[in-house]
Structure 1
């Protein structure tokens, strides 16, 4: 269980910037995925998100990584000292929309709580 103290420690990791996964080195991807995994673990617990929204294998699916990374950036930016009072509600509105997209992508991927299905490779 990730408590509020642990989450406050995560603030030191997060920089409210957009991560361009395409431009990262393999090492940077690993570092960013580890940081994102901490936030995703907290969000799953805090918002009681089940495997239909965020399957355990989310880190193995680019679309889910991109969506969750964008959510984390928005969340982090919404809770800065200089954030607008309306920023947290904006985050929650976007979280609602993101959950819909995550469910859709998860459904297409066919992963479950116990089974990972790799994404099909496109035909050349």
Structure 2
């Protein structure tokens, strides 16, 4: 290198250092941040048991760390499908937000998502602050008139 090239290289490095790290640049692998998803309806029995244990550990940590009242996440949270889905989504988002490959914006993003989830959490676990109140799941058995359904589908997609 000649003197001019040395000077340019030092200037380039100096400019990069002054600008600081690029918050949008990811170091490490090209894998998705977090890289963990759970689709409860498609898990094998063995996988489900592992995921339930992991989710329970996270829910117990989360409710203590964020002082979530029993009226929002009752002790019977695992008996409420909508609440399980909401907590599961928050758990997975938390894993991604605090993944080592995150750029540093994940933590604030997770807290923003948590704020948006608060009302959904309250609705999903409502009514079970002291004891579990069994809710009857909706049933589709005999709820749809099949002839009417088939006619509607045929008419809707007829061109």
TM band (smaller chain): 0.7 to 0.9
Query: What is the aligned partner in structure 1 of residue 121 from structure 2?
Result: 102
Query: What is the aligned partner in structure 2 of residue 121 from structure 1?
Result: 137
What RMSD in Å do the two structures reach over aligned CA positions? 1.5
Matching of residue 86 in structure 1 with residue 86 in structure 2: no
Query: What is the aligned partner in structure 2 of residue 37 from structure 1?
Result: 56
Q: Distance in 1 between matches of 2:92 and 2:45?
A: 20
TM-score using structure 1 length: 0.79
1:34-84 residue CA offsets vs partner (Å, 9 max, x unmatched): 110000111011101011211110111111111111111110111111102
Q: Tell whether the 8 Å contact from 2:80 to 2:125 is kept in structure 1 after alignment.
A: no
| SS of the residue 1:67 aligns to | helix
> Where do 5+ consecutive residues of structure 2 fail to align?
1-33, 142-159
Off by >4 Å, runs of 4+ in structure 1: none
Bigger radius of gyration: 2
TM-score using structure 2 length: 0.62
Cα shift at 1:28: 2.3
Q: Distance in 1 between matches of 2:78 and 2:53?
A: 10
> Where do 5+ consecutive residues of structure 1 fail to align?
1-14
Query: What is the aligned partner in structure 2 of residue 27 from structure 1?
Result: 46
Change (3 A) 1:40 1:16: farther
Q: Distance in 1 between matches of 2:92 and 2:123?
A: 21
Match of 2:89 among 70, 86, 89: 70
* Count of equivalent residues: 107
Query: What is the aligned partner in structure 1 of residue 144 from structure 2?
Result: none
1:4-46 residue CA offsets vs partner (Å, 9 max, x unmatched): xxxxxxxxxxx64110001012332222111100001110111
